[in-house]
Amino acid sequence: MSNAPANLKYTASHEWMLLNADGSVTVGITDHAQEALGDLVFVELPEVGAHFEAEKEIAVVESVKAAADVYAPLSGTVSEVNQAAVDAPESVNQDSYAAWLFKLTPDNAGDLDKMLDAAAYQAIAD
């Protein structure tokens, strides 16, 4: 059973989200996703300032086994990327919740309420 912290929201495509005090949303891939992918060797993140629609490809993570798209969980503008995850992709395997990928300023913060909670995510992930 993979780890899914209760304070986060999730997508069925295995992204996690954390609402920050400034209204931005931190996004990464779940523990389940990194386990399924195996050892990550490459992370490609979006450009700061780029706008993405919900459920569109926004980033790529690549392991020794496969490459996987990361999808924008919400429509919004990229406000920050985690260069440390690019420089050390293995950090996502070590702690997928600490090694976030990017932050979005959502077009509609209320959309976060439509995402899966930890229990609902665990039900589909395990």
pLDDT in tens, 104-113: 999 998 999 9
Average model confidence (pLDDT) for the chain? 95
Q: What is the number of other CB atoms lying within 10 angstroms of the CB of residue 77?
A: 16
Domain ranges in the chain are 9-108
DSSP one-letter code for 13:
T
pLDDT at 1 over 60: no
**Res 126: pLDDT:** 76
Residue 13 — pLDDT band, cuts 50, 70, 90? very high
Name the nearest CA neighbour of 74 among 59, 96, 52: 52
What tokens appear for 75 in the block?
Answer: 């429509």
Contact 106, 75 (CB under 8 A): yes
- Chain segment 60-98, per-residue pLDDT in tens: 999 998 999 999 999 999 999 999 999 999 999 999 999
| Structural element, H or E, at residue 104 | strand 102-106
Mean pLDDT on 20-29: 97
pTM: 0.96
**Res 33: pLDDT:** 95
Residue 33, CA distances (Å) to 2, 28, 108, 116 in order: 9, 10, 26, 15
Work out the end-to-end distance of the chain between its first and last CA atoms, rounded to an integer number of angstroms: 6
Q: Could you tell me the fold of the domain covering 9-108?
A: OB fold (Dihydrolipoamide Acetyltransferase, E2P) (2.40.50)
Helices (H), the chain: 31-37, 83-87, 90-94, 118-125
- Chain segment 36-63, per-residue pLDDT in tens: 999 999 999 999 999 999 999 999 999 9
Q: What is the phi-psi region of residue 40: left when phi exceeds 0, alpha when psi lies from -120 to 50, beta otherwise?
A: beta
What tokens appear for 33 in the block?
Answer: 């996703």
